[in-house]
Structure 1
Amino acid sequence: MLALFAVSCSTDDVEDRPVVAGVDAPVLTAPEEGNAYTLLPDNMDVLAERFIWTPANFGEGIIVSYDIEIDAAGDEFDTPAVIGSTTGATQFAASAGVINNALLATGAAPFVTANFEVRVKAYVGSNVLYSEPVEMIVTPYTTETPRLWMVGGFQAASGYGANFDYATAPQLKAVEYGDTNFEGYVYIAEDITSADNGFKFSTVANENGVNYGMGSTAGTIAEGGANITATAGYYLVKVNTDSGILSYSLTPANWGVVGFATTGSDAGWNNSTDMTYNPTTKVWEITMQLSAGEFKFRANNAWDINYGDTGADGVLESGGDNIVATAGMYKITLDLSNPREYTYTLTAQ
């Protein structure tokens, strides 16, 4: 009797459950097709758009969940990002920061205006309905420290991948978000004799960013300018993208070690011991005997550009503290390949 009662209750429960079936898809009523947005970090907490849609119908009494999805126009939502989600509610207020985070998750390039599509995904369990997409024109941002990519016909010969390959191009870096002063060290193996195999500076790691080439006068840059030419060498590259400055410089930098530890006397501070650049590892290196004492790295056998290690943590600072060494034979490396994050090693031999 207990078994029969249990079966009877279970059958009634199944019969009383509402039937879930997609009947009417939601319709996105806001935003309007083609609305344009420029998202800014100063307004990241400000309302940018209120997404509104009609309820989806999965049957009477069914509570529906919703995701607002966004993806690049033409990608057919292959890898969409979710702006926000609701349960039951048919609107979602999204700040500039929320929309921006979703765009960056799709791989959108910061500060590049592009077309995107947004839609509403309505679902109950595995039952899903989608609204028709609506196009949005959006310029996203990033608060990461800005970089420039130095792209050109010198890359293959210099160890930076294929010529004009953005992904492998050497980079320059600013000090912080909002700064327009960029620097980095770049090796050019062969003379760049014409604009055809010259280089430019790109704001993103693809052809969709702002590209700076030669300006109207020496040492200046301009948006869309011709490729820049240069002679072979290892350079400290500096660029200022401030619209009122727009300048660049290439300073030859041939590195050496200098200090008491290099000779065992104060005379060691007078002349640098040259290091050799390794284009495969992209580091300067030397194997030499050090005496107990201090040393630094400097370029061009002069003090205009020099690095020490304040804090003795293996990270170099411009004009930083002298590096302390114990006596012995060492392989010394100087790694300037990561812009503004310069390091060195001392390995006993």
Structure 2
Amino acid sequence: MKNIFKYIMLLIPILFIWSCQDDDDKVIASATSAPIVLEAESNAVNLDPNYKNNPALTLIWSHANYNVQVIPQYEILFSLSEAFENPNNVFNTSNRNKTWTVEEINVLVQEMGMAPNEVGTLYAKVISSLGDQGQLAMESNVVSFQMTPYTTYSFNDYYLVGNATAAGWNPNNNNQALFRNPNSENEFSFTGYFDSASAGDMNEGRFKLIETLGMWQPQWGDSRNEGEDAFATSGDVAGNPGTQDGDPGRFGVPASGYYTFGINFNTLTYTITPFDASSATVYDRVGIIGDATVTGWDGDTAMMRNTEFDPHNWYLHNVELENGEIKFRANNAWDVSWGSTTSYSGVGELGGPNIPVTSGVYNIWFNDLTGEYQLIPQD
């Protein structure tokens, strides 16, 4: 027992010495050099919408050196300000390079606030750090890129065709566009006049939808076969291509008059409801006005309509607009005007706010019965 005690007493100073030696060998991590962006393939980034999947921007940077053997984490920051006000953390990685496609950069910079169809500058830098808490952060130099984002429009559009409509069965005859619900991109409606030359005739008062002017496919209609598609106020929707190989049946109204046609491509259902337009004002003129137009806020650009068929639905084709705002107004005066907050499509309120517009060439539709508007970019 005494011998064991002696051995223990002899080991204590040895352990103490080892402990002191371990303390002396501890290394405190410190940063020695920041990551430097070594390569940006070009300071001019070509955002060509015809090559959306091509590489557009590549960043490559050197190692961030620390005095310990570690793998740093790198954070890539973008900003529209050289001072990096409101920076956007776009990527975290342990690698030393990152590439974005044309489409990725185009979407990203517009989400950050860069205006489409105008030259903008994007700033980038890299921050290195250690651990999950971002210790010993070091920043790289800042590089900048110039680019012109293109308009991103990913919506489907639909047009009326049929003998119930002003276009007849011609798929490229100034066909009326449906109005998209700004809160639900797959819901559409149109309120207007539908003609039935011979009430009760199963082949009159008929219409379908097409997606591309001048083309019969894709087309949409009633899910029943033609000939079995009796007039209905609601039903299921079919498309070719879309839900089947053959053409769908026809929507239809049993008598001439004003109706609201609604269609939901989420549920593939439709409704047709009579609309009372007997007390609606027939305006002499409706136009667009705003700093997005060539005349600014000094005067409006008159819209057109088919007065003999439906005096309440207006249109303009191939109108060039700048980044800015517009409103719709009646009779070249401010007594009656419509506006809203949503771009491309919406429901204008009387005396409502200005409608935001992205620069481009558009076909524009407006309905003075409902205040609905639709702006469709033209390539």
TM-score by length of 2: 0.41
TM-score by length of 1: 0.43
